[in-house]
Structure formats: structure tokens, C-alpha cells
Amino acid sequence: MSVRRRVAITGIGLVTPAGLDAASTWARIKAAKSCAGPITIFDASGFSTRIAAEVKGFDSLPPIDDRKLLKYASRAHRFALAAADQAIADAGIRPTLQDATRWGCVVGAGMMTVAHPEIAAVQRAAAPEGELIPNNIMQEPVANDVMAFSRSLSTAGVSLLLRRFGIRGYCSTVHTACASGGQAVGTAMRLIRRGLADRVLTGGFDSMISPVGLSGFCLLSAVSSDNDHPERASRPFDLTRNGFVLGEGAGFLVLEEWDSAVKRGATIYAELAGDGNSLSSYRITDSHPSGDGPIQAMRRAISDAGADMADIDYLNAHGTSTPMNDRSECAAVNAVFGDRAKEVGVSSTKSVMGHLIAAAGAVEAGICAMAIRDGLMPPNANLQQLDPDCDVNIVRDVPREQRIGMALSNSLGFGGSNSCLAFRHPDETAALIAAGR
């Protein structure tokens, strides 16, 4: 029987509300300093929620030298391009003419593909008094702008990445809301395992901080309305939590076949060891109170990694700060780990960055890899009064120094898609390989 190809994480790139690269993002997460504040991207004065976690100082990033590429890039696409550039540079390897067909690209992309200014422009032309005048639509310049149309395509982001890096192998885009980034990373891992690629650029990007995005979440009562105290608004597992803080950004990883990464002397953050998925089929916005969907995803990820419950030291929880989601996820943790649940450190880094929607799972995968590298469990910010229904081993306020042999990362999406990724310390992987496992 052939030995399964293992997958190494050799590059990480992050553009988040917490920082414009992986190092600054990780530093702010360790400091448990919230990124939430008043919305500045547009006038949110008419909304019940007027706060979000925005990416700040983005224009200070190194410019992209391909002007034609930028013409097709939205705000979220620019996050993706910057984070992917960082991941490729961090890995110290990029596609060449000789191996471009052995590189893949799998991306988790956001639900909102048309920029609000473009929607507003068409509305002003087509229905200036509120009643549709179809013949007016084509008089609006945006409606005749091929670049605006191209930016709106759900495949635009991955197309820009392929052009940027010359990747010519397997390509796919995942659209499963909050699970998108996690499922994209898991899909990329499976490509390498199956021999369909040797290296994959994978991640997620999103920006729903717009009138359309915010209004939808307000209608669902999903976002916190603590406008006077934004720094406290995202408080996963706290008894007084009242919704998530909307964030934006991108996270990208370079994944490589393990032996190839070792042979070239790459720095390996962690092994991406397991991928588990499930569908809750309960409500479009909630998991079942029993945690059934997350339970299945977590168990499948652990099994896929060839591990058992005793191997897991840390869980980066989905932990959005909504009442039902946090309770359901904690019920799942207790069901999966049983008596050992009190030994598994749990935190939600959304308490600092907010919820990055399609980018969340990919960013949090990078965080898990850095946590393993540093032997440091990131803290859960803003937890003052633990919800009795969330009685798990929360890492509170400050990082917990502890060697992490294995970690899990949950991403539980609107619509019921559940993703769980499993990560293993590279020394643990090396020992398994030496033992012929």
C-alpha cells in the first residue's frame, strides 16, 4: 500500500483588520486588542449597526506593478493579491514555466461580487424615482463598462491570482459563506494528497463592509449593535454577547508536498493533516443546538489526520459572538472530546479581528500554524462573564504558553456548511514519518 502524501504549510500571507501582514496580525491577536471601530468606508449613520473591523492603511502596502491587473481588481481582490504575494514570498518559491502545471490555486471567495457604488449608479439611472425604467440602464456608463462587469464575476479573484503568479494547474473557487476559506484550504490539501498538484496557493478573501452587506446582516440580527463601545462588541462566549462584528481581509497559504518541502530546505510551519466537512441542514443562519454539524466536521478532520481526541491541544473556534452559534459550537466541543474537553484550549480570534466571512477560515488556518510554531495559544478577548452554556476551556485575555502538538480550526458557514481543519506540529510529523506511519 502506498504511503499517503503529506502536506506542509510553507508560506503565510495575511491582510486583516489586525495588520497588513502575518507578523503584525499575529502580534495584535496575541495582545487581544480589538480592531472594531466606527465604519469609515461609507456613511453608516442610518444603520442599527455602525461599527465594523476595517483593514486600515491598506494604501501603504507595496504597490502591484501590473496596472492592467489592478483595473480589474476590487477592494477585496486587492486584499487577496497582497496576501498571496506575501505567502509566495514567505515560502521562497513560485511557479516557473517548467512547473506551472503542477501548481494549483483554490480560493474561498465572498458572497458579494458587485461593488455598492456600481449598484447605486445603475439604480440612479434605471429607477431615479423608485420605478424601473429599463431603457435607462444602458445609458449609465457602469452598465457599459466591461471592467466593472469583469470585477463582478465570482471567478474574478482567482483569475487575477492565476495571472499574477502564472499558475496553470488545477483551479477552483469555493462559495460556502463563512466556511469558504476553510473548505478551500482543505480542498487544496486533498489536491496534493491525490497527486494532482505538488504545490497549491490557497486561501480566502472578502469584504462585505458595504451598505448591501451590512443591511443584510442587520436584517438577520446577526451583527452587534454596541456602537458606543465597538472595542467590546465582539465577545465570543460571553453571556452578554449580541452578535458578531463584520470584518474584511484575506489570508493565503502555500501548501507543498512534504518531502519536496523538506528536500528544498523550506521552513515548515505545520503539517496540514486533516480536513472534515459536514452540512447541518438546520437553519440558514444557525447550527443545530446539539452541535450536530460541527461534531461531524471535527470528528472527520481528526480521523482524516490519523489522530485521535487525545492528540488535540488547541481549537481555534468559529466563535462568532452570536448567541446560538457559540452555544452550538461549545456543545460540539463537549460532545467530541467528552471528559477531555477541559484539557483542550479554545479561543476565538474573531474577538480581535471580527468575522472576515469567506476569508475567516483561511486567516485562522494561518493563525493556527503560527500558534504551533510559537507554542502559544492565542487569547479570546473581551470575555468577562462566561455563558454557562459555553463551559469549555477558554484561553482568556492573555496567550497561553503551551506546546501544541495538534490544533483544529472550525469554520461554520451560513447555509449549514461546516469545515474543520487539523494541523500537526512538524516535529510530530517527522516522528511519524521516521516510524513509517
CA distances (Å), origin 288, targets 39, 56, 283, 325, 416: 32, 36, 8, 9, 9
Strand partners, 247: 53
Residue 204 grid cell: 480566502
Residue 72 is predicted with a pLDDT of 80
In three-state secondary structure terms, 355 is strand
Q: What amino acid positions are annotated as catalytic residues?
A: 178, 318, 355
Which amino acid is residue 253, in one-letter code?
A: L
Question: Is the whole-model pTM more than 0.85?
Answer: yes
CA distances (Å), origin 291, targets 50, 129, 175, 281, 304: 31, 48, 22, 12, 20
Q: Using the 8-state DSSP alphabet, how is residue 6 labeled?
A: P
Residue 109 is predicted with a pLDDT of 94
Residue 140 is predicted with a pLDDT of 60
| pLDDT of the chain, 437 residues: tens digit per residue | 457 899 999 999 999 999 999 999 999 999 999 999 999 998 999 999 999 999 999 887 777 778 778 778 888 999 999 999 999 999 999 999 999 999 999 999 987 666 666 666 656 666 666 666 666 655 666 555 655 655 666 778 899 999 999 999 999 999 999 999 999 999 999 999 999 999 999 999 999 998 888 988 998 889 999 999 999 999 999 999 999 999 999 999 999 999 999 999 999 999 999 999 999 878 777 778 889 999 999 999 999 999 999 999 999 999 999 999 999 999 999 999 999 999 999 999 999 999 999 999 999 999 999 999 999 999 999 999 999 999 999 999 999 999 999 999 999 998 789 999 999 999 999 999 999 88
3-state secondary structure 244-301: ECEEEEEEEEEEEEHHHHHHCCCCCCEEEEEEEEEECCCCCCCCCCCCHHHHHHHHHH
Which domains can be identified in the chain, with CATH numbers? 7-113+153-434 (3.40.47.10), 117-149 (no CATH)
From the centroid of its chain, how far is CA 283?
A: 22
Report d(CA 194, CA 166) in Å as an integer: 22
Which amino acid is residue 349, in one-letter code?
A: T
